Each structure stands twice: as structure tokens, then as C-alpha cells.
Amino acid sequence: MANETKIIRNDGKLLSKFYPNGFSPTTLLSKLDNNELYFVYKHDNIDPYYLLLKYNPKNDEKIEISYGPTGYPRRIDKRIFNGNDNKLKLENIILRHEQNNFSVNKELLPVDNVPFNESLDAGQLTGLLIDYSLELVQKHNINDEEHDIFKFLSSHNIMARFKDYSQLIHSNAIVPDLSDILTVVNVSDGCGNDCRHCPEGGNLKLYSKEDIRSEMIKVLQLHIKYHPNTIRKMTEGFLNTSDILWYEIQKSQIKPDEIAKMFFEYFPWTQKLGTFFGVKNLLNVSKDPNFGNIITGNYLKSLYDAGINRGYVGIESGNSKVSAILRKNETYGDKLKALDLLKGSGIKTKAIVLVGVGESYITGDDEEIKSIDAMQDTIKLLENTSPYRVMISRYLPNENLPLEKLRKEGQLKDYKDKHGIQKEIDMLTKAMNWKNITVEQDYESFVVGKARK
Ligand code: SF4
């Protein structure tokens, strides 16, 4: 049984042992023998989470486990000395990917008292390690609310949860920022555009009002099943569509603001609601018929008022010719205007930049554009508009994508420099750091395995 809250507002012994150079703001929640549980506060770009540290003095083994706000284990790590500098580093034993599947690094096993033998497959090991992480945290002497977060969890229901939720996200959909606190509702399939690099291109299908409602009810039922005590901690939402504005552009029976309002009927505790926006549609909906079709921010402000406060925009490149090769016919000026409009409405904008397509592009006029030069245009664009975040999307070659045809025809040249992609990323990251804009590097993990149908 859990006792009254006993929050000790100082570090336990283990935090300084594991992190001799200091750590983010934390509260020690509970302390057992060589086993301490902390709450880590939101800092930089990291959302709050629970952290368990376990130390074995007999063999100096240092284990740390992170759990999301709904209690789901996110990773188990070992702190070990490695690398050329022989410094204390974090090595990942088990990691939950954004796609919600786990990977296990067998080379770091055995760990603590988890039974291990070589014949166990990855699924069995994942189950054992998740149960181990939950048993450790469930032993802690924490307050009732925190005790309730962890009490129903087991490897069995965690695996079942991810399977059930993944069935609600279509296989070629791209969902950024997936986590155990994100409510994702599919509201359309495909896209009205057909960009050469994109697994979602073509075959746009907008849902009816009834279908959207039924998607929301299905997700709510899963939340009730898997998050009986933590549903209100699921404070982030995502309307999963290639561009929510298709509902306006295509004069659908239900409009984007009504979809957002419906979302809050079912998930009223949501604080951040995001969705994708396309540049052309952003410009089109901003033509204000009340003012002779001049561009105003009024339409987008109405979406912000309806609760959409995060906008993801795939700008891919600031170079207009590169965009045209990608069949994303939006110029530098279009993108700048669209991002400014979205930002001006109050919606925090995440601009997605594509890297890794090739070392250079050849235009129809036989002009060669080097990716590193195109990145300069991207940087200029982002510096001019200062989005809330920049997300890096690494291109994942897939023979079904039309872009690969261009490669075969010689219009795309592969990287000769094996560090070429990283150099572009570093250049972008450095420039954004100067502007205090956070760059998120792991967008590609949301796209892995996506394929055009
Ligand atoms: S990149 Fe965006 S606009 Fe282009 S096809 Fe994909 S979802 Fe549609």
C-alpha cells in the first residue's frame, strides 16, 4: 500500500553517483536500499518523467530506468565506462521507439537479477525487462496518485496497448511526437498533393463528420481500457491528416475548427493539440473574402481559438528549385509567408526540413544544385521566420517512391562524402542554435517503415 506523500526536496545519494556533474531539476520521491525514484521536471526540450536509479555495490552496476508521465517504461540504461575516453556513459539496454515498439541490446545483458539466457528471443527479453522495471518502481513508497500511475501496468498490458493503438494509425501515416501522453486521432487518409519523396502522397480521402466522431470514440475507449488512472495525463493531442486545411479547401461537410472542437469534447484535458498544415493551403485559406481576398491571419486565428496550438509544416527545403524537383511546388516566398501567418495566429510552428535525398539535384535545365547550398537557403528561410522548433526528417529511400525514379534517371546524385548528410544537419543545427531555435533530430523514426500503397 502506498503511504502519504513524502517528497524529499533534495537529491538522494545515487543521483550524484550517477551524475557527478549535475542533473536536471528533480525531486526525490522515494528511497529504498540502493534504489531511488525521482521525478524529473520539464527542462529544455524534455517533458517531465520519472527516473529510477538502481546501484549494485557488489559489481558497481548502475541501472537507470525512465518512465513517462503515464507510468509506461521508456528506456532502461546502464551507465558504464566506455569509449576511447573511458568516461561514464549511458548505454541503452531497452528503448521504446516512437513507433511504440521496443528494441533490446542483448550485449548489455544480463542485468541485475533479470533471468537471462541466449535462447530467449527479443520479445521474451522485452517482456522480462519491462516487468523488471515495473516491479522495481511498484515497490516504492510513493503517494497514492503516483502509486495509481504504476499499479495496473505489466509487460502484458503494455504490449497489448501498443498493438491496439497502432491499429488506429494507418500504416502509411506519419505521426510526429508520438509518446505515451499523445492522443492521436486519424481524420483523413492520403494527401491532395503528390510530392515525390512522400509515402503519403495522393489518394486523399477526407472522413465524414460521423467517421471522425467514431475514430475519436475508438481512441477514447482505448484510453479508458489502458489508462484508467492516467487518462488526464494524456495532455497532448494530434489530428492525424496530411493537412487539416483540406477540410476547408475541399469544402467538406465538417470544417477544421469543428474537428478541433469535437476533439476537445472527447479529450477535454488536452493542452497541446497539433496537426499538419501545407504551405499552399495555408496561403489559400488566408485569402480573406471580407477584405477583397487580401491575405490576413483571421482564418488561422479562428483555428487557434478552436484549440489547435501546434502546427507541423513540411517545408523540406528553402530552395525553390529543389522543392520543384520534389514536386512540392512552393517557393521560398510562399513558405516564408505561410510560416509567418501560422506563427502570427498563435499556433506554435514546427518546420520540418528534409535531409539525405542526395548530394545534388539536377534541374530540367541541367543546373546542378548541391544539397549543402540548398541548405543555406533553408537556413535563411528559418532565420527569417524563427519557427518554434525545427524538425529534421531524414529521407528513407524506398523503391516505391517516385523520387527513386529520378535517381535512376540521374537527376539525383548520391552522397560521395559519407559524412555529407551529417554536415548538412550540423550546419542547420549550428545556425538554429545561434537563433535559439531548438532542432529535433529524431523525426525520421516516425517515418521508418512507411511505404506508399
Ligand atoms: S509531403 Fe506533405 S504535401 Fe507532399 S504529399 Fe506528403 S503529406 Fe502531402
Per-residue pLDDT of the chain (453 residues; tens, 9 = 90+): 333 334 444 567 898 888 877 778 888 999 999 999 999 988 767 788 999 999 999 988 999 999 999 999 989 999 886 656 656 678 888 877 655 577 888 888 888 888 888 888 888 898 999 999 999 999 998 888 888 899 889 999 888 888 888 888 765 566 666 678 999 999 999 999 999 999 888 899 999 999 999 999 999 999 999 998 899 999 999 999 999 999 999 999 999 999 999 999 999 999 999 999 999 999 999 999 888 999 999 999 999 999 999 999 999 999 999 999 999 999 999 999 999 999 999 999 999 999 999 999 999 899 999 999 999 999 999 999 999 999 999 998 888 899 999 999 999 999 999 999 999 999 999 999 999 999 987 655 444 334 443
The pLDDT, as a whole number, for residue 79 is 86
Give the C-alpha distances (Å, rounded to integers) separating 369 from 71, 176, 195, 334, 405: 48, 29, 19, 20, 18
What is the 92 CA–ligand 1 centroid distance (Å)? 34
Q: Is residue 339 located within the same domain as residue 380? A: yes
Give the C-alpha distances (Å, rounded to integers) separating 1 from 22, 147, 228, 388: 33, 8, 19, 44
What is the 120 CA–ligand 1 centroid distance (Å)? 41
What is the 40 CA–ligand 1 centroid distance (Å)? 37
Q: Report H helices in 90-227.
A: 122-138, 144-151, 155-166, 209-226
Locate the ligand 1 atom nearest the alpha carbon of residue 191 and give its number. 8
Q: Is residue 370 located within the same domain as residue 395? A: yes
The residue out of 85, 120, 155 marking a domain boundary is: 155
The pLDDT, as a whole number, for residue 448 is 38
Determine contact, residues 2/37, Cβ cutoff 8 Å. Answer: no
Question: Which of 189, 198, 393 has most ligand 1 atoms within 8 Å of its beta carbon, as the pocket-test mutant?
Answer: 198
What is the 321 CA–ligand 1 centroid distance (Å)? 17
Instruction: Tell me the torsion sign for CA atoms 136, 178, 152, 117.
Output: negative
The residue out of 155, 176, 207 marking a domain boundary is: 155
Locate the ligand 1 atom nearest the alpha carbon of residue 200 and give its number. 6
Q: Is residue 115 located within the same domain as residue 198? A: no
Locate the ligand 1 atom nearest the alpha carbon of residue 202 and give its number. 5
Distance, first Cα to last Cα, the chain = 51
Q: Is residue 362 located within the same domain as residue 251? A: yes
Q: Is residue 65 located within the same domain as residue 212? A: no
Q: Is residue 102 located within the same domain as residue 194? A: no
**Nearest C-alpha to atom 7 of ligand 1 is from which residue?**
242
Exposed, middle or buried: residue 214 (CB in 10 Å: 0-12, 13-18, 19+)?
exposed
Residue 8 falls inside a structural domain: no
Q: Is residue 434 located within the same domain as residue 287? A: yes
Residue 260 falls inside a structural domain: yes
Residue 4 falls inside a structural domain: no
The pLDDT, as a whole number, for residue 142 is 87
Q: What is the CATH number of the domain that holds 216?
A: 3.20.20.70
Residue 5 falls inside a structural domain: no
The pLDDT, as a whole number, for residue 421 is 95
The range of the structural domain enclosing residue 270 comes to 168-446
| CA atoms lying within 13 Å on the CB side of residue 350 | 21
What is the 60 CA–ligand 1 centroid distance (Å)? 50
Locate the ligand 1 atom nearest the alpha carbon of residue 278 and give its number. 3
Q: Give the integer Cα–Cα distance in Å for 174 and 161.
A: 19
What is the 323 CA–ligand 1 centroid distance (Å)? 12
What is the 35 CA–ligand 1 centroid distance (Å)? 48
* Closest by CA position to 51, among listed 67, 63, 62, 35: 67
What is the 314 CA–ligand 1 centroid distance (Å)? 8
Residue 320 falls inside a structural domain: yes
Q: Is residue 134 located within the same domain as residue 207? A: no
Q: Is residue 55 located within the same domain as residue 181? A: no
The pLDDT, as a whole number, for residue 85 is 61
The pLDDT, as a whole number, for residue 345 is 97
Q: Is residue 107 located within the same domain as residue 225? A: no
Q: Is residue 244 located within the same domain as residue 386? A: yes
The residue out of 104, 120, 155 marking a domain boundary is: 155
The pLDDT, as a whole number, for residue 1 is 34
Q: Give the integer Cα–Cα distance in Å for 221 and 449.
A: 27
Locate the ligand 1 atom nearest the alpha carbon of residue 201 and give its number. 5
What is the 202 CA–ligand 1 centroid distance (Å)? 8
Q: Which residues line ligand 1 (CB under 6 A)?
A: 191, 193-195, 198, 200-201, 242, 278, 314, 328
**Nearest C-alpha to atom 3 of ligand 1 is from which residue?**
193
Locate the ligand 1 atom nearest the alpha carbon of residue 243 and give its number. 7
Residue 212 falls inside a structural domain: yes
What is the 394 CA–ligand 1 centroid distance (Å)? 15
**Nearest C-alpha to atom 4 of ligand 1 is from which residue?**
195
Residue 161 falls inside a structural domain: no
Q: Report H helices in 227-345.
A: 246-249, 256-266, 279-285, 298-305, 320-325, 332-344
Residue 453 falls inside a structural domain: no
Q: Give the integer Cα–Cα distance in Å for 132 and 153.
A: 11
**Nearest C-alpha to atom 5 of ligand 1 is from which residue?**
201
Domain count across the chain: 2
Record the cell numbers describing residue 1, joined without a space: 500500500
Q: Is residue 133 located within the same domain as residue 277? A: no
The pLDDT, as a whole number, for residue 451 is 41
